[in-house]
Amino acid sequence: MIPSIRKILSFCLFCILFSGYIFLNGCDEAEREYDDSEPALSVGHYFTEEEGAEFLARVREKYQDLDEWENRADQIRHLILKGTGLEQFPEKNDLNPVMGNIRTHDGYTVQNVAFESLPGVFVTGSLYRPVNAEEKLPGILSPHGHFTDPGDVGRYRPDAQKRFAAMARMGAIVFAYDMVGYGQLEELGWEHRHPEALRLQLWNSIRATDFLISLGADPDRIASTGASGGGSQTFFHAAVDDRVSVSVPVVMVSAHFFGGCVCESGMPIHKEGDFQTNNVEITALAAPRPLLLVSVGGDWTKNTPEIEYPHIRHIYELYGSAENVEYVHLPDENHDYGENKRAAVYPFLAKHLGLDLSKAIDSNGNLLEDGIAIEEQNDLYPFDDDHPFPSHGIRHNDDVVW
């Protein structure tokens, strides 16, 4: 299908605005500041650390009571939906799931799956369930970040597979899904760094919630957690979909860094005219639902204990729900979802989802991840000889019809 003139022009504008930077330097790991040639975009290190802190101090004065915050929250949420072109949701089509064979491991099962988020647009992933799963299990959505090293990609990384399996052992149904243009979809022709990646990725997460609930997950106990770009997707999703009852963005919430990939900052969701917001305020849209921030000394979340967390806690206090927001700061660690991050996240999810923590952490605080099978990337693809890619399936972003 030949792309429309609108989409061609959109792509050309995107290339001009980003000046080739993202294509040369990756996504979340971007370190240089961007040329702010388009005022509506707040990209990468849009603020300095000092500017980010000053911005939060200034806007905090605007909401000293709950009504003032909720008025601003409505403005921020509207900006996200308008900026992504989701002010009016598309009509929800049937999910038409593709369900692969179930593999049984030590205390959990894995099943490769796909569903249709828009006509012809398939979201690929894998479901992790506890052995002898019952109905109405808590559901956990697991978007991934921009990890692209061979053998260490997205949801296929060993530490990611350990996390999914451990959460399933604890008693959740976990959906680990590919971001736009990753995994098997990339091999089919999809691109991640596309000007409308954020729009589709956010919609895919909304439909992933529908998918989990359609499988029998408890609609009142749906969590989302991811690191890096998966952390961005976690707080964007929770901001616009109140069915996300627990959110845990890992190594991503920052007052000064806005995300370096088009799937985080390539659409005008942070600024319109003289109205400006940042990812701290967007994360706070989850209030008063349970929220855990996990931060480290080795990236843009290094100031969380002094800057980001106190600001978000202030908003939770306006709801009388300060006990629902927590943070864990690991000053000597870097940008990942490693063992100490998982050890911090499992108890929070167990507390708020009613999971069995003893299946993931012992009484001494040690992770119980022995026996988890690390499967090859291709073995986690949903489309194979028995489950071929549908003939009407779309193979490139430009062919999506909204």
- The predicted-structure confidence for 376-394, as pLDDT tens digits, reads as follows 999 999 999 999 999 999 9
Where b means 16+ CB within 10 Å and e means fewer, 262-301 reads bbbbbbbbbbbeeebbbbbbbbbbbbbbbbbbbbbeebbb
Res. 358 pLDDT band, cuts 50 70 90: very high
Q: What would the mean pLDDT of 126-145 be, rounded to a whole number?
A: 94
pLDDT over 50 (residue 1): no
The residue ranking higher by pLDDT, 237 or 147, is: 237
CA 337 to CA 8: how far, in whole Å? 37
Q: Among 168, 177, 173, 167, which Cα is nearest to 126's?
A: 177
pLDDT over 80 (residue 14): no
pLDDT over 50 (residue 399): yes
Res. 184 pLDDT band, cuts 50 70 90: very high
pLDDT over 70 (residue 305): yes
Domains of the chain: 98-380 (3.40.50.1820)
Res. 277 pLDDT band, cuts 50 70 90: very high
pTM reported for the whole predicted model? 0.91
Q: Which amino acid is at 25?
A: N
Q: What pLDDT, on the 0 to 100 scale, is given for residue 151?
A: 85
- The predicted-structure confidence for 16-54, as pLDDT tens digits, reads as follows 444 333 333 344 443 333 344 444 899 999 999 999 999
Q: What would the mean pLDDT of 87-100 be, rounded to a whole number?
A: 97
Q: What would the mean pLDDT of 181-189 be, rounded to a whole number?
A: 96
